[in-house]
Structure formats: C-alpha cells, structure tokens
Structure 1
Amino acid sequence: MESWNQTSSDTVRAHAPLVVNRRIDEHVERCVRYMAEKGDRAEMSRYLERLEREWDVHRAVAVTTSALGLLGLLLGRRDGGRWRGLSTAAGALMLQHGLSGFSPLSELFRALGVRTRREIDLEKFAIKALRGDFERIPNEGGPMARANAALVAAQS
C-alpha cells in the first residue's frame, strides 16, 4: 500500500521512533484493508463505535499524570511527605507535555501502541469512506485499491 500518513505536524508522532509509527500505520492499514475486503456496513459501524471510545495519547498522559499526582499527595500525607516528589514529577511531566506536546510518558504510551487523535480520526474517516459516507471512493479496483483510496481521502 502506498504511504498515506506522511504529512503530519503531530509532535507526539514526530518524536516517536520510526518503527513505532510504522507499526501503528500498518495496524491501521490492516484494519482498513480488512473492512474493504469484508464490505460489511454493520461491522464497520460497530468498529467505528469502538474507535470513538479509544483513548488517544494525550488523554492517556493526562489521566496518568493526574493519577500519579494524586497518589503522591495521598501517600505523602500518610507517610510524612516523602512521596510528594511523585506529585512534583507528575506535575512536571504534565507541564512538559502541555507546553511541547510531548513527554517521556508519550513515548511510553506510543511504544504500547496508543495512537494520536489524528491517527484515530484518519482510520475513522477511512472506514466511513468505505462504508459509503463520502463520494470520493471508487467502487472499482478491488479492496486494496479501495482501502488505499479511503486512507488518502481521509487525510485530505
């Protein structure tokens, strides 16, 4: 399949190792290709509902740093303040992520396969295009050509 996810100003994606981005892109391609081969609109709709609930990397970082901050405060209150450094570190990670769009936690979540909102949205729009929600996807050329056209259309 031709490369479809090249133009991205996403900071998290730009800082992630190429192999991680490639693995995530290949997962999207497999899913879109599978949906193009199946052609089952009901299955596409169920999968789209699942994508709507998927957490993106920014949400995962925000929830994790908040939980670490609260944990540090709670443990620090119980154990005389030794754990407050955890709250400080969590706050620093969240500040870095908020200012730069990237933090070490982002890298960890990327390695675990957590995607950016843009990557999730690209897959959603490609599936919607295959489902027939848009007019730009040709019916000829087979599932591979339709999947590729859907991915390209989703990005534009």
Structure 2
Amino acid sequence: MESWNQTSTDAVRAHAPSTVNRRIDAHVESCVRYMAEQGDRAEMSRYLDKLEHEWDVHRTLVVGVPAVALAGLLLSRKANSGWRVFGGVALALLLQHGLTGFGPLSALVRAMGVRSRREIDLEKFAIKALRGDFERIPSDGGPLARANAALVAAQS
C-alpha cells in the first residue's frame, strides 16, 4: 500500500520511534483493508462507534497521571513520604507533556499502542469514506485500491 501517513504535524507521532509509528500504521491499514474487503456498512458503523470511544495518548495521560499522583498521596499517608515524591514526579512529567506535546510518559503510553487523536481520526475518516460518506472514493477497483484511496483521502 502506498504511503499515506507521512506528513504529520502530530507531536506525539513526530517524537515516537519509527517502529512504533509503523506498527500503528500497519494496524490502521489492516483494519481499513478488512473493512474494504467486507463492504458491510453496518459493520463499518459499529467499528466507527468503537473508534469514537477510543482513548488517545492525551486523554490516557490526563486521566492516568493524576490517578497515580492521587494514589501516591494516599499511600504516603500510611507509608513513607516516597510515595508523595512518586506522585510529584508523575505530575511533573504530565506538565512536560502539556507544554511540549510529548514526554517520557507519552513514549511509554505510545509504545503500549495508544494512538494520537489525529491517527484515530484518520482511521475514522478512511472508514467513513469506504462507507460512502464522501464522494472522493472510486467504487471501481479492488478492495486494496479502495482502502488506499480512503486512507489518502482521509489524510487530505
């Protein structure tokens, strides 16, 4: 399949290792290809609903880090104050992510397969294009050609 996700201004993607980006891109390509082969609009709609509820890197960190910090505060009341430092470090790393758009915690979450909002949206638009929501996707050609056209259209 031709390259479709190369011109990204996504800070999470720009700072992630290329192996992680390729793994995530391959997953997106296989899902879009599967949907193109099936051609089932109802299944596409169900999958789009699933994508609507998928957490991105930012949301994962915004919820996860304060939870870790709160747990650190609660544990420091019963144990030593080292837990308080643990929570403080987690919050400092969240601050770094907020200021720069990327950080060590982002890399960790990204390595676990959590995608950026832009990547999730690209897949959603590609599936919507396959479903027929847009006119730019040709109906002729095989599933692979339609999947590739949908991914390219979603990028633009």
Tell me which residue corresponds to 2:46: 46
- The RMSD of aligned alpha carbons is 0.9
Tell me which residue corresponds to 1:97: 97
Query: Deviations along 1:91-142, whole A, 9 cap, x unmatched?
Result: 1011100000111111111111110000000000000000001110000111
> How does 1:14-53 map onto structure 2 within 5 Å?
14-53=14-53
Alpha-carbon contact 2:94-2:105 (below 8 Å) kept: no
Runs of 4+ with deviation above 4 angstroms: none
Which 5+ residue runs of structure 2 have no aligned equivalent? Answer: none
The alignment's TM-score, normalised by the length of structure 2, stands at 0.97
The one-letter amino acid paired with 2:114 is: V
| Shift in Å, 1:81 | 2.7
Aligned-partner Cα distance in 1 for 2:10–2:82: 37
Aligned residues: 156
Tell me which residue corresponds to 2:140: 140
Tell me which residue corresponds to 1:154: 154
Tell me which residue corresponds to 2:59: 59
The one-letter amino acid paired with 1:41 is: R
Which 5+ residue runs of structure 1 have no aligned equivalent? Answer: none
Aligned-partner Cα distance in 1 for 2:75–2:34: 47
The one-letter amino acid paired with 1:146 is: R
Tell me which residue corresponds to 1:108: 108
Aligned-partner Cα distance in 1 for 2:65–2:43: 35
The one-letter amino acid paired with 2:155 is: Q
Aligned-partner Cα distance in 2 for 1:39–1:3: 23
> How does 1:65-104 map onto structure 2 within 5 Å?
65-104=65-104
